[in-house]
Amino acid sequence: MTAKQVIESGKAILGIEFGSTRIKAVLIDPENKPIAQGSHTWENQLVDGLWTYSTEAIWYGLQDCYADLRKNVQKEYDCDIEMLGAIGFSAMMHGYMAFNEKQEILVPFRTWRNTNTGKAAAELSKLFNYNIPLRWSISHLYEAILDNEEHVPSIKYLTTLAGYVHWQVTGQFVLGVGDASGMIPVDPSTKTYDAEMVRKFDELIAPKGFSWKLLDILPKSLNAGENAGFLTPEGALKLDVSGHLKPGIPVCPPEGDAGTGMVATNAVRQRTGNVSAGTSSFSMIVLEKPLSKPYEPIDLVTTPDGSLVAMVHCNNCTSDINAWVNIFKEYQQLLGVKQETKDLYGTLFNIAAQGDPDCGGIMSYNYFSGEPVAGLMDGRPLFVRSATDKFNLANFMRAHLYGAIGVLKLGNDILFNEEHIHVDRIMGHGGYFTTPQVGQRMLAAALNSPISVMETAGEGGAWGIALLAAYVVNNPDKLNLADYLDQVVFAGNTGVEVQPTPEDVAGFNRYIENYKAGLPIEQKATECKK
């Protein structure tokens, strides 16, 4: 079938992911190849000291993204989308979306980026003997309880962004197990919320006398491949305001961006891993067994099919690189030089590859916001050098590329050096890897491990959630998710691999020692910030 025939026959599958700066839609054919895309750019807002996106922005963004997809389909194939084989929704993980019995949001959506939950996270980590990150939903909930927020007694539903969108278009209050594991820890043996931790939390808050217990307000956890409902008539109109899209389409369990990243890079099998590097960054290593003890920089979540994953999540990654590239773009404009922005990125990334392995001693701290792995609750981007450092453009850019993954290295050093975790392959995806091999080379040096990137990695999480939607309807042999990805989707494609060099590894190690020694500079900068 041609792509047009696939769309007209209603066999195309749609994945939509809400990223930090872009909502992206990907339409795939029965062979899992992208055939059309749409997007919408958005930004979070700082409201009353908390990072948020309004519900109006969520729905406008979804509708504009889908309208862009429709426009592209009409232009490319001279047809419209009337029916689909399946749909999947994904979004940035964690955060806090609380609703009353009328399904009205009680407080603005609190995103993963907020770091106001320190007291709650610390108390829960001690109670559970398990690292509970600041951004997890349970941390936000307990912090709201500690702060005696007025809305807490009225909570009827608590979910994530992906869960919210899915709920509103299907009527099903559910979550994929990977996204669920970012609310409160999941037991890999049961693939649902850890019963003992739920019991401890209920006992902890019992004196408050709320009318609800934790399981009353959490979505049901579903495994990859399970049907999670169907698009309702109201949901179809919420997605496609033109009214062309028909209801009744099966929808897969909603997942977080970490889970879709694992799927998009074929990294759901044990002893595999992936690194997503964009506005934020995180590494996901699928474990063979639990860690020996809790570590504050390491979160334990699950794959979309319930395997335990060690996650190092960094709030900041490429935002500071983007800011500096915009400065160079302004300078080009002053000179009257015309160059596509993507080509400018390529030019600057490639010059970074020519820099000294230790960046000549200069350092970059990319902290637009707090960075809990580094122990900082607030952030301020800094570029640091001494008068004797080797300051040139190559080292300047290389320092920013290193700085973008510096915190990622801090967390992964625990896994590889202290827990002696072994991996067979690590896949990279996200904007950091757009310029061929440069980002791979930097990450290979940081982790002292080969890094592979596939051509499809650029499709990102929207493609990943589309694959999970396809897994619901196009898996007649009932393969498990890892085998389905290996045999059906990727069919032996392992991508392009870059090996670390001894010089680059030694250079990054020198850089990171300077980086760690300079963290008090960053701390002081945040204290002095007005």
Tell me if 489 is assigned to some domain. no
DSSP string, 389-441: S--SHHHHHHHHHHHHTHHHHHHHHIIIIIS----SEEEEESGGG-STTHHHH
Residue-wise pLDDT for 409-440, tens only, equals: 999 999 999 999 999 889 998 889 989 999 99
DSSP 8-state class, residue 329? H
Residue 385, domain member (yes or no): yes
Give the list of residues 6+ apart from residue 523 with CB closer than 8 angstroms, or none: 376
pLDDT score, position 113: 85
Contacts with 490 (C-beta within 8 Å, 6 or more apart), sequence order: 266, 454
Q: Is residue 138 part of a domain?
A: no
Q: How do residues 130-140 score in pLDDT, each as one tens digit?
A: 999 999 999 99
Confidence band of 529 (pLDDT split at 50, 70, 90) = low
Q: What are phi and psi of 251, to 5 degrees?
A: -125, 135
Beta-carbon count within 10 A of 293 CB: 9
Residue 313 within any structural domain of the chain: no
For residue range 58-94, list pLDDT tens digits in order: 999 999 999 999 999 999 999 999 999 999 999 998 8
Using DSSP, state whether 259 is helix, strand or coil.
helix
Q: Is the pLDDT of residue 117 over 60?
A: yes
Instruction: Summarize the confidence of residues 365-385 as an average pLDDT.
Output: 92
| pLDDT of 33 above 60 | yes
In a domain? residue 517: yes
The CA distances from residue 131 to 181, 298, 299, 489, in Å, are 12, 7, 6, 34
Beta partners for 167?
A: none
Q: How many domains does the chain have?
A: 1
Q: For residue range 302-357, list pLDDT tens digits in order.
A: 999 999 999 998 989 999 999 999 999 999 999 999 999 999 999 999 999 999 99
3-state DSSP assignment of residue 384: strand
Residue 391 lies in a domain: yes
Q: What are phi and psi of 301, to 5 degrees?
A: -120, -165
CA distance 445 to 510: 11
The Cα 372–Cα 44 span in angstroms is 20
- 443-455 per-position pLDDT tens digit: 999 999 999 998 7
372 domain residue, yes or no: yes
Instruction: Kindly provide the b/e burial profile for residues 412-428, where b requires at least 16 CB atoms within 10 angstroms of the residue's own CB.
Output: bbbbbeebebebebbbb
Concatenating the DSSP letter of every residue in 223-238 gives -TTS---B--HHHHHH
pTM over 0.75: yes
CA 70 to chain centre: 25
pLDDT tens figures, 389-401: 999 999 999 999 9
Range of the domain at 514: 319-407+503-528
In a domain, 212, yes or no: no
